[in-house]
Structure 1
Amino acid sequence: MNNWIIQKIRKQIFYFLISISLPVLGLAQMPAGGNMQRMAVGQVYGKVLDATTGKPIEFATVTLLNAKDSSVVNGMLSKSNGDFNLDHLPFGRYILKVNFLGYQTIFKNVVITPSDAQQDLGNFKLSPVAKALEGVSITAQQPQYTMNIDRKVFNVEKSLTTIGGTATDVLRQVPSVSVDIDGNVTVRNATPQILVDGKPTALTLDQIPADAIESIEVITNPSAKYDASGQGGIINIILKKKQESGYQWHGSAGSWYA
């Protein structure tokens, strides 16, 4: 047999071996068990919008859950234009959850198949959570003791220990003010000038009921508008301007009446 015939036979054997090996190579590239549904080739995308304004919602949470056990498969936050895109998804059944703080949550069933691997889920319009409130009342409580530039203010209404007492009892609760057992008042070891609503008064402290006092100002360094004698400064007793009951000041008589 000449060399030409031998070479021809070798070529035929080579082509035969290549033809039978190609299907084997193709099968080797498939997933184990030949399950094509486990290949991560699916993709879903869409947009999150405000149902009222139609504007995109940024940072909305988009989560893809497994329909069988609700386990998280994939997820992301919506972009500034409201877009979201979840890819590399295995074929199967899922539940898409879209939620954002202050809005109602949206759920959508999603089925990814080889024939419908890429899906545009469209717009998800989130509606704001409507919660009716009858009214909101904001109450700010005034502190019992405040510091101003030139004086210290003691709010008598915050002191429950002075109920039913007199101005003397109130002054015993004021910091930096000392009252002895005889009712003598001193500030920094000196006798202060007692004013009522910024004016001198002929009343004694025991004649002023505690429930008629709104606040007490302790002015240790009075300005030039006050005529303070000594080193004790000024104690200014501020009376309540409107009193529906209790004691009231009778200006013409210079006394209190019930």
Structure 2
Amino acid sequence: MTAIDLNSDLGESYGAWRMGDDDTMLAIVSSANVACGFHAGDPAGIWKTVKAAADKGVSIGAHVSYPDRVGFGRRDMDVTSGELIADVIYQIGALKGMAAAAGTTVGYVKPHGALYNRIAHDPKQGQAVIDAIKAIDPSLVLMGLANAPILKLAQASGLKTVAEAFADRAYTPDGQLVSRREQGSVLHDTQRIAQRMLQLANKGTLEAVDGSTIRIDAQSICVHGDSPGAVAIAHEIRRAFEADGVTVRSFLSA
């Protein structure tokens, strides 16, 4: 039987500003990438999401970011390795404290936004993130973009990795994400998205924007919690998986 992880970015509300529907998403996904306060999330909201994830048996990952609340962590930053190491250790440590208080643990790290995209191909910042994870807890798994060099760099440094694909994003013929600045980069048709993810789970392939078939070796699928219709997309993916006999299960329990 085929099994795959389904993850979403959660805990991103801040004060009176609401982002996403964490409670509903936690009933659908198997892993939660929880904001650590640097791009989004406040302590009360993060705590609520961590407790809810623990109650539902959903795996928890630290969704670390550049210090960029105004830009929601989507602005690239040319930070030093020392700064980045400290920032990542700080964020993971904060979430570990929350998780321990809720009677659960943090099992993996998924960088967010601009940091995620930067380290996918930037070995300097990538190594800083790796060094930070190893410094605080070398048992943590690094989640990164499928087919990106960061995964091999992390593995060579002794970290376990999990490769991720994006349900609601279009791909180029060389297996990269289409830039959000380009038309058609974000997908919205729930049934089309679900069928694409079913193809990915069963065959390890996707259709690129030019119509060609590309191979994506991914063990986890992300549905962005802040995307319009995120809950509907996640629900339809899970429904399609269950109808086809694909099990939704955290990669940490595989």
The TM-score normalised by the length of structure 2 is 0.22
More relative contact order in 1 or in 2 (CA 8 Å, sep 6+)? 2
Would you tell me which structure has more strand in proportion to its own residues? 1
The TM-score normalised by the length of structure 1 is 0.21
